[in-house]
Amino acid sequence: MPSPHERLMRRGGSWMWCVKTVKWFPVIFIVSVILWSYYAYVIQLCLLTVVSNIQRVVYIVLYHAFLLFFLWSYYQTIFNSIGKVPSQFRLPASELDRLMQAESDEAKIQVVKRFAQNLPISNRTASGAVRFCEICQHVKPDRAHHCSVCGDCVLKMDHHCPWVNNCVSFTNYKFFTLFLGYAFSYCMFIALTTLQFFIKFWKNELNGMEHFHILLLFFVSIMFALSLVSLFGYHLYLVVHNRTTLESFRPPVFQTGPDKNGFSLGKFNNFQEVFGDNKNLWLLPVYSSLGDGVTFPVRAQHQSNLYNSMGSTHNSLGDGVTFPQRCIDEDTDSLLGGCQRWDDNEAGCQRWLESEATSHHHVQQDDSDSSSAVPDIVIMN
Ligand SMILES: [Zn+2]
Ligand SMILES: [Zn+2]
């Protein structure tokens, strides 16, 4: 007979399994819509309604081309793993012991600060504290955030997207952008090719009951296309400005204050950061992004404006890359709403660091950062 503890563990395991299953519901919904659209378009429209053989072949070939790129980019976005934080950022057991044994917040700050001096980071919270994830027990690389849904720190986190049941991050941002673009193209192709049948229906040249699937397909494709075009446009805007969704809500903070364009290298270079420098791969859902997801080039004024509270951080992970200096705003989860949850625990992770930094060392910067961040957020929205 199982012990109470074992029963509890089993119940917890069943609960986790339920949660994991529920997280797939949005993906299952999207896949179901795609499967139905396939039936409606290929069977109902192309095979049973279209009269001309040439038109039928053209429709079917083009449809499958759009579908292929749409599904390919969707698959890549879903199943590409989120970037792992390098082990160098994890506090070793000795440092963790020191952290646990530290008697004051100031002592804890010093432990993390001392450890971070050997890391290629320049991000800070608004108060100037080192960004540390208590759950993952490592210092966060620049632009990385803890995702409460994934339960891990995610490199260059953009947001957690339930429609792909994955974090949109450094590793799959190109795929996500292509997914939006191809999904929009897929919907527009369907809408434009079914439009003539919708017009025929209004002219009473088509029986609505017999062609129910085609008429519904027209409306559904228009509805999805309208939703996708704004999202696709927004992410293209973010790509050419080298900004994540999180950073568009809360600009990264540099020594001179928040700078929403702090990572911007010019529109074309920003585009290449995500899509790579090989033109042949830009439209293909294959990995071609530049960089390692841990360090990022910044604008010149921030490179010369070294953040002195950390001392020198021009370090390298050993691959010959020298890391520039920059600071980023603290992490907050209150700005993005339910569908983009992130860092539920991050504020708590850093509370002791921030409160200590505010009360001792960085009062002036904290005040100026807080006041100047608000107008930026308002403008961006
Ligand atoms: Zn974390
Ligand atoms: Zn996530």
Separation of 295 CA from ligand 2 center, angstroms? Answer: 20
Q: Could you tell me if 167 and 177 are in contact, meaning their C-beta atoms sit under 8 angstroms apart?
A: no
pLDDT of residue 8: 58
Separation of 240 CA from ligand 2 center, angstroms? Answer: 23
Nearest-10 Cα torsion for 313, 317, 323, 327: -60
pLDDT of residue 337: 31
Q: Could you tell me if 122 and 313 are in contact, meaning their C-beta atoms sit under 8 angstroms apart?
A: yes
Separation of 290 CA from ligand 2 center, angstroms? Answer: 22
Of 155, 156, 181, residue with least CA distance to 245: 156
Separation of 44 CA from ligand 1 center, angstroms? Answer: 49
Neighbours of 349 (CB within 10 A): 21
pLDDT of residue 348: 34
| Three-state helix/strand/coil letters over the chain | CCCHHHHHHHHHHHHHHHHHHHHCHHHHHHHHHHHHHHHHHHHHHHHCCCCCHHHHHHHHHHHHHHHHHHHHHHHHHHHCCCCCCCHHHECCHHHHHHHHHCCCHHHHHHHHHHHHCCCCCCCECCCCCECEECCCCEECCCCCEEECCCCEEECCCCEEECCCCEEECCCCHHHHHHHHHHHHHHHHHHHHHHHHHHHHHHCCCCCCCCCHHHHHHHHHHHHHHHHHHHHHHHHHHHHHCCCCHHHHHCCCEECCEECCCCCCCCHHHHHHHHHCCCHHHCCCCCCCCCCCCCCCCCCHHHHHCCCHHHCCCCCCCCCCCCCCCCCCCCCCCCCCCHHHCCCCCHHHHHHHHHHHHHHHCCHHHHHHHHHHHHHHHHHHC
Give the burial string for 201-240 (b: 16+ CB within 10 Å, else e).
Answer: beeeebeeeebebbbebbebbbebbeebeeebeebeebbb
Neighbours of 34 (CB within 10 A): 15
Measuring CA to CA, how many Å separate 64 from each of 137, 201, 290?
Answer: 47, 26, 30
Q: Would you call 161 a catalytic residue per the annotation?
A: yes
pLDDT of residue 258: 73
Separation of 24 CA from ligand 1 center, angstroms? Answer: 22
Which residues in the chain show pLDDT less than 70? 1-12, 208-209, 254-257, 300-381
Residue of 133, 136, 147, 161 marked active site: 161
What residue type is 66 in one-letter code? F
Separation of 161 CA from ligand 1 center, angstroms? Answer: 18
Separation of 14 CA from ligand 1 center, angstroms? Answer: 24
d(C-alpha 128, C-alpha 301), whole Å: 19
pLDDT of residue 161: 95
Token digits for 300? 């010149």
Separation of 20 CA from ligand 2 center, angstroms? Answer: 13
Q: Is 156 left (phi over 0), alpha (psi -120 to 50) or beta?
A: left
Q: Could you tell me if 195 and 110 are in contact, meaning their C-beta atoms sit under 8 angstroms apart?
A: no
pLDDT of residue 288: 95
Angle between helices 267-275 and 212-240 (to 10 degrees): 120
Ligand nearest to the CA of 148: 2
- pTM of the predicted model, to two decimals? 0.77
Token digits for 337? 């709403």
pLDDT of residue 309: 34
pLDDT of residue 47: 93
